[in-house]
Amino acid sequence: MNPKTPSESRTIMTDMVLPSETNPLNNLFGGELLARMDRAASIAARRHSRRITVTASVNHVAFNRAVPLGSVVTVEAAVSRAFNTSMEVFIDVWIEDRYTGERTKANEAIYTFVAVDDTGKPTEVPALQPETPLEKERFDAALRRKQLSLVLAKKMKPSDATELKALFKED
Ligand SMILES: CC(C)(COP(=O)(O)OP(=O)(O)OC[C@H]1O[C@@H](n2cnc3c(N)ncnc32)[C@H](O)[C@@H]1OP(=O)(O)O)[C@@H](O)C(=O)NCCC(=O)NCCS
């Protein structure tokens, strides 16, 4: 399988915030944003692998900014690293100013997807070849995040998480 670049999986979804999608403060309900991010990330994982993909874990979500009712929200997802059968997908969320159109980063998240065959068995995916400095930075950190996720899920022994442990080593 030939390696693919993040731009080959990049998925951009733009939509408005409607009243039924808000919390009592009239801001976008967190679960609604999680669903929008999951949808965009799932398409990105499918574009990279050209397989059925399932969400294996949500590794990180930061709700840094409230997203008010009526906002135009853009969810941008791309595969940030591919392993054997799993892919890390990085999601950036932007809102745009009503008058100037200027975009502001509102939130970000990192999901892990696994490519599966018709019976649900994990199946191999192409490698990822990062191109830009940001893509390379996200690619480099992805292995540590995978190890942390596996340790928290009790699927890896902390002693085996060598790249993760290296983060905490003092020189
Ligand atoms: C995700 C799923 C396919 C993994 O199955 P599994 O039996 O654990 O398979 P494996 O142990 O072979 O793991 C497959 C890959 O997933 C990765 N993985 C599994 N759990 C993970 C986790 N919590 N965090 C990060 N990666 C994980 C493994 O590291 C492996 O990656 P690699 O092949 O790239 O090294 C399986 O748990 C599943 O089908 N879950 C339900 C998915 C779903 O329905 N999602 C929607 C929720 S409503």
- CB-defined site of ligand 1, < 6 Å: 54-57, 83-86, 112, 114, 116, 120, 122, 146, 149-150, 153, 155
> Residue 39: what pLDDT?
97
Task: Taking residues 144-155, report their average pLDDT.
Answer: 95
Task: Taking residues 2-28, report their average pLDDT.
Answer: 97
pLDDT more than 70, % of the chain? 99
What residue has token string 């398409």? Answer: 43
The pick from 86, 87, 116, 143 for probing ligand 1's pocket by mutation, whose C-beta has the most ligand atoms within 8 angstroms, reads 86
AA letter at 82? A
Band (165; pLDDT cuts 50, 70, 90): confident
> Residue 119: what pLDDT?
97
AA letter at 157? K
* Residue 20 exposed, middle or buried by CB count within 10 Å (0-12, 13-18, 19+): exposed
Query: Residue 168 pLDDT more than 90?
Result: no
Give me the residue spans of the domains in the chain.
6-130
First-last CA distance in the chain: 39
Of 92, 135, 133, 94, nearest to 110 (Cα)? Answer: 92
CA 11–ligand 1 middle distance (angstroms): 22
Q: What topology is assigned to 6-130 in CATH?
A: Thiol Ester Dehydrase; Chain A (3.10.129)
C-alpha–C-alpha distance, residues 69 and 96, integer Å: 13
pTM over 0.75: yes
Q: Quick: pLDDT tens for 17-67.
A: 999 999 999 999 999 999 999 999 999 999 999 999 999 999 999 898 999
> Residue 170: what pLDDT?
72
